[in-house]
């Protein structure tokens, strides 16, 4: 493929534009592996990459897209062979290195994971960075002692990471799951396994307390900010929260009491620099113990040209589930 199409973000003074353009192959620096991208996916971070002060892109122009799955077209390293199916997420992809919203990607071998057998490239991107993050969060809570009889709460429930998390929990046999959402009437929430739906607004209306009744054992949090601040006092003795997001704010208003009087644990989840073996373990888990019912996941498939519209839905907080960018 001598030429390829990609979405490119450019910045002039304070104005940021996202345009589909055609590039010669040598626009991409020659790295270890050249990949023909079959699918990418749209994550919250990709939306932030389109904002003038989103704090994601390190330089311009840049092809965004923090994840991709496809076929190796050329390899300079023995770890990958031509024709092999692969997944790449995180690290500098779509941040300071041209990313997945592109027919071609040229990447360092450390950023590329072989596609597990039994998984398609489409399924890999239905999961994408969101799936990896949901898997890491649940892996951390299981290691902490989370069991199917425990009471779980998931915030930002219609979002990518959170909806995949609810489907993993279903697969693991958890039934006492509360979904917290700003869109508590959304039909999508009914499709996601849950015992209860709680409006974000209702959670925020409750009186802020230093310690509150111990309503939940474990929390999976995409929202941060005031939502997480209100939940910490409600976590039961010895429970934990897996915190990975800031969709609702990055400030945390808390006291030390949930930690020193109830032994509550705040577990930070980062998918960007997750060590390679853990990354492989989580991807593999999606073909076995974490194998979700993909039919329950709301998935929209779009082309590069549709991406500005998708970014708008993130801005308007109407985006739900997962959006795939297809190149096949
Ligand atoms: N740490 C990591 O490695 C990592 C990896 C992936 C993602 N993340 C972060 O995790 C979060 C979720 O990512 P995602 O890709 O799943 O995003 P997403 O699909 O946009 O989901 C976020 C969800 O949060 C809720 N939400 C959005 N704005 C909100 C607000 N202002 N107040 C309260 N709730 C709000 C919405 O759900 P409802 O309308 O249903 O409430 C939304 O669907 C983001 O902050 C992202 O940056 C971190």
Question: How far away, in angstroms, is 110 Cα from ligand 1 center?
Answer: 27
Q: Rounded mean pLDDT of 275-281? A: 96
Q: Are residues 156 and 111 in the same domain?
A: no
Q: What are the structure tokens assigned to 286, written together?
A: 């999606």
Q: Are 164 and 292 in contact (CB under 8 A)?
A: yes
Atom of ligand 1 nearest to the CA of 162: 16
Q: Are residues 101 and 136 in the same domain?
A: no
The CATH number for 222's domain is 3.40.50.720
User: In this structure, is residue 293 part of a structural domain?
Assistant: no
Q: Are residues 136 and 264 in the same domain?
A: yes
Q: Are 99 and 68 in contact (CB under 8 A)?
A: yes
Is residue 206 predicted with pLDDT exceeding 90?
A: no
Q: What are the structure tokens assigned to 256, written together?
A: 């030390």
Chain-centroid distance, C-alpha 62:
21
Is residue 53 predicted with pLDDT exceeding 90?
A: no
| Domain final position from 268, 288, 312 | 268
Chain-centroid distance, C-alpha 309:
19
User: In this structure, is residue 189 part of a structural domain?
Assistant: yes
pLDDT given at position 176:
98
Range of the domain at 213: 129-268
Which residue blocks in 6-117 are alpha helix, DSSP H? 44-48
Q: Rounded mean pLDDT of 132-155? A: 98
Q: What are the structure tokens assigned to 81, written together?
A: 């062979």
pLDDT given at position 87:
98
pLDDT given at position 277:
96
Is residue 321 predicted with pLDDT exceeding 90?
A: yes
For the Cβ of 159 lying below 6 angstroms from any atom of ligand 1, the answer is yes
Q: Rounded mean pLDDT of 13-20? A: 90
pLDDT given at position 21:
97
- Which one of 137, 156, 315 would you pick to mutate in the ligand 1 pocket, going by the greatest count of ligand atoms within 8 A of its CB? 156
- Which one of 247, 271, 324 would you pick to mutate in the ligand 1 pocket, going by the greatest count of ligand atoms within 8 A of its CB? 247
For the Cβ of 271 lying below 6 angstroms from any atom of ligand 1, the answer is yes
Q: Are residues 145 and 77 in the same domain?
A: no
For the Cβ of 313 lying below 6 angstroms from any atom of ligand 1, the answer is no
Nearest Cα residue to 45 out of 109, 92, 104, 112: 92
pLDDT given at position 190:
95
3-state secondary structure of 234: helix
When pLDDT is cut at 50, 70 and 90, the band that residue 91 belongs to is: very high
Is residue 54 predicted with pLDDT exceeding 90?
A: no
| Domain final position from 250, 268, 286 | 268
Query: Which residue do the tokens 């429930």 mark?
Result: 157
Is residue 218 predicted with pLDDT exceeding 90?
A: yes
Question: How far away, in angstroms, is 212 Cα from ligand 1 center?
Answer: 25
User: In this structure, is residue 155 part of a structural domain?
Assistant: yes
Q: Are residues 192 and 110 in the same domain?
A: no
Nearest Cα residue to 271 out of 113, 148, 156: 113
Is residue 272 predicted with pLDDT exceeding 90?
A: yes
pLDDT given at position 89:
96
When pLDDT is cut at 50, 70 and 90, the band that residue 144 belongs to is: very high
Task: Enter the DSSP assignment of 172.
Answer: T
Q: Rounded mean pLDDT of 171-192? A: 96
Is residue 14 predicted with pLDDT exceeding 90?
A: no
pLDDT given at position 207:
85
Atom of ligand 1 nearest to the CA of 249: 31
Query: Which residue do the tokens 């991208």 mark?
Result: 37
When pLDDT is cut at 50, 70 and 90, the band that residue 328 belongs to is: confident
Q: Are residues 110 and 142 in the same domain?
A: no
Closest residue CA from atom 13 of ligand 1:
44
Closest residue CA from atom 30 of ligand 1:
248
The CATH number for 16's domain is 3.90.180.10
User: In this structure, is residue 287 part of a structural domain?
Assistant: no
Computed over every residue of the chain, the mean pLDDT equals 96
pLDDT given at position 1:
79
Q: Are residues 66 and 88 in the same domain?
A: yes
Considering its fold, how many domains does the chain have in total?
2
Q: Are residues 145 and 258 in the same domain?
A: yes
Atom of ligand 1 nearest to the CA of 158: 40
Atom of ligand 1 nearest to the CA of 247: 45
Q: Are residues 180 and 153 in the same domain?
A: yes
Q: Are residues 50 and 18 in the same domain?
A: yes
Q: Are residues 151 and 232 in the same domain?
A: yes
Q: Are residues 109 and 214 in the same domain?
A: no
User: In this structure, is residue 278 part of a structural domain?
Assistant: no
| Domain final position from 268, 284, 313 | 268
User: In this structure, is residue 276 part of a structural domain?
Assistant: no
């Amino acid at each position: 493929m001598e030429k390829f199409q990609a979405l490119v973000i450019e910045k002039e003074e304070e104005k940021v534009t996202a345009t589909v353009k055609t590039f010669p192959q040598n626009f991409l620096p020659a790295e270890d592996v050249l990949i023909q991208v079959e699918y990418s996916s749209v994550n919250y971070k990709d939306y932030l990459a389109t904002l003038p002060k989103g704090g994601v892109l390190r330089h311009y122009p840049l092809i965004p897209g923090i994840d991709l799955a496809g076929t190796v077209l050329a390899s300079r390293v023995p770890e990958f062979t031509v024709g092999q199916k692969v997944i790449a997420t995180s690290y500098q992809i779509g941040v300071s290195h041209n990313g997945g919203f592109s027919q071609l990607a040229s990447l360092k071998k450390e950023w590329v994971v072989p596609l597990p057998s039994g998984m398609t490239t489409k399924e890999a991107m239905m999961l994408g960075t969101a799936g990896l993050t949901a898997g890491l969060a649940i892996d951390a809570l299981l290691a902490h002692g989370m069991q199917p009889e425990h009471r779980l709460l998931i915030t930002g429930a219609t979002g990518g990471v959170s909806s995949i998390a609810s489907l993993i929990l279903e697969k693991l046999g958890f039934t006492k799951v509360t979904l917290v959402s700003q869109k508590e009437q959304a039909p999508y929430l009914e499709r996601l396994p849950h015992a209860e739906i709680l409006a974000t607004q209702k959670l925020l209306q409750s009186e802020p307390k230093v310690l509150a009744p111990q309503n939940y054992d474990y929390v999976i949090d995409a929202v941060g900010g005031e939502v997480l601040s209100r939940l910490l006092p409600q976590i039961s003795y010895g429970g934990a929260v897996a915190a990975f997001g800031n969709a609702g704010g990055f400030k945390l208003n808390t006291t030390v009491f949930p930690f020193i009087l109830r032994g509550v644990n705040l577990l930070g989840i980062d998918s960007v620099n997750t060590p390679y073996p853990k990354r492989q373990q989580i991807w593999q888990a999606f073909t076995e113990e974490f194998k979700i019912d993909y039919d329950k996941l709301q998935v929209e498939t779009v082309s590069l040209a549709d991406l500005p519209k998708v970014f708008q839905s993130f801005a308007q907080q109407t985006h739900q589930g997962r959006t795939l960018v297809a190149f096949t």
